[in-house]
Amino acid sequence: MPTPTKGPRLGGSPAHQRLILANLSLQLFEHGSITTTVTKAKRLRPFAERLITIAKRGDLASRRRVQSVLASRSRTNKGVVYTLMEQIAPAMAERDGGYTRITKIGNRQGDNAPMAVIELVMEPVSAKQAVVKEAAKATETAAKVEETVVEAPAADFDSAKAEATAAKFAGAVAANADAVAPEGADIKGNADSMKYHVPGSRWYDQTVAEVWFATAEDAKAAGFAPAGGEAAQQQGE
């Protein structure tokens, strides 16, 4: 359920308030900026930005929905809807929000009401914002890739080769088909890089063990070095 707005509503009824906001939105989309009271500007902002979000979809249903919200007796209604769908919405395509800007300009003469200018933010997204957005996407993609890393399929497992590899290193235990640590040996060893990985270390889950060791000392005795350095491969951490 939407959060109710604070303070008294605009106009004398909810229907009157919707009509006021629709008329203000028409003026905003037509002229790009309007001057109004601070209260009306704050109420208009989420109303107008919601219409822009709908318009960004660009389909016929969205056009009809915007048309129904902005329906009025004004002859410029269809023209404003066209401007919103064909000019404003495409210009906002790279923005995820913040389509409008409110600038306070002081009080009105006469009743001393606080006034503000609300305008559409039509400037292109800055290069810095684009870089941040791309970095966020890259981080999300990397996280998904890490989650989908799987061990080598059992169909490719060669038990004879595993036994031969383990025989080359004193204290080593041969790898098995299901890539599960043999009983009493949970240190993964990689014969190509001659590195070992302890449970819980950075690359442990992504490493396919060619041999296993019972302790880090056994791995070192067989000539294996700690992957990432001694601090990264502490037994029991």
Contact of 27 with 53, CB cutoff 8 Å: no
Q: Give the SS3 label for residue 193.
A: coil
Query: Would you state the pLDDT for residue 1?
Result: 46
Type of residue at 47: F
In a domain, 88, yes or no: yes
Domain final position from 71, 96, 129: 129
Residue 146: per-residue pLDDT = 54
- Residue 55: name the closest of 31, 19, 102, 91 by CA: 91
Same domain for 35 and 105, yes or no, is yes
Regarding whether 158 and 125 lie in a shared domain, the answer is no
pLDDT of residue 237: 47
In this prediction, residue 192 carries a pLDDT of 82
Position 136 in a domain = no
- Residue 196 maps to a domain: yes
Whether residues 168 and 121 fall in one domain: no
Neighbours of 173 (CB within 10 A): 21
Please tell me the total count of domains within the chain.
2
Q: Is 50 exceeded by the pLDDT of residue 14?
A: yes
Pairing of strands 187-190, 195-197: antiparallel
What's the predicted TM-score (pTM) here?
Answer: 0.52
AA identity, residue 68:
S
161 and 86 co-located in one domain:
no
What confidence category does residue 132 fall into, taking pLDDT thresholds of 50, 70 and 90? low
Query: Is there a single domain that holds both residue 109 and residue 24?
Result: yes
User: Is 3 a member of any domain?
Assistant: no
**Distance, CA of 12 to chain centre:** 41
d(CA 187, CA 156): 22
**Final residue belonging to a domain, choices 129, 163, 195:** 129
**pLDDT, tens digit, 9 for 90 and up, residues 23-78:** 999 999 999 999 999 999 999 999 999 999 999 998 999 999 998 888 765 555 78
- Give per-residue pLDDT as tens, 149-208: 444 444 566 778 878 888 888 888 887 777 777 888 888 888 888 888 888 887 888 888
**Closest of 191, 161, 162, 157 to residue 177, by C-alpha:** 157
CATH code assigned at 110: 3.90.1030.10
Whether residue 88 sits in one domain with residue 18: yes
Number of CB atoms found within 10 A of residue 141's CB: 10
Q: Is residue 200 included in any domain, yes or no?
A: yes
Across 131-139, average pLDDT: 69
Q: Which domain holds residue 51?
A: 14-129
What φ, ψ does residue 103 adopt, rounded to 5°? -125, 120
Judge whether 141 lies within some domain. Answer: no
Considering the domain architecture, whether residues 195 and 121 belong to the same structural domain is answered as no
Among 58-62, 86-90, 220-224, the minimum mean pLDDT is found in 220-224
Counting residues of the chain whose pLDDT is more than 70, the rounded percentage is 83
Strand 195-197 with 225-226, pairing? parallel
Q: Looking at the structure, tell me whether residues 105 and 203 fall in a common domain.
A: no
Claim to verify: residue 217 and residue 161 sit in the same structural domain: yes
Q: Measuring CA to CA, which residue among 17, 30, 31 is closest to residue 81? A: 30
Q: Identify any residues that bridge with 174 across adjacent strands, giving them in sequence order.
A: 211
Please indicate, yes or no, whether residues 61 and 124 belong to a single structural domain of this protein.
yes
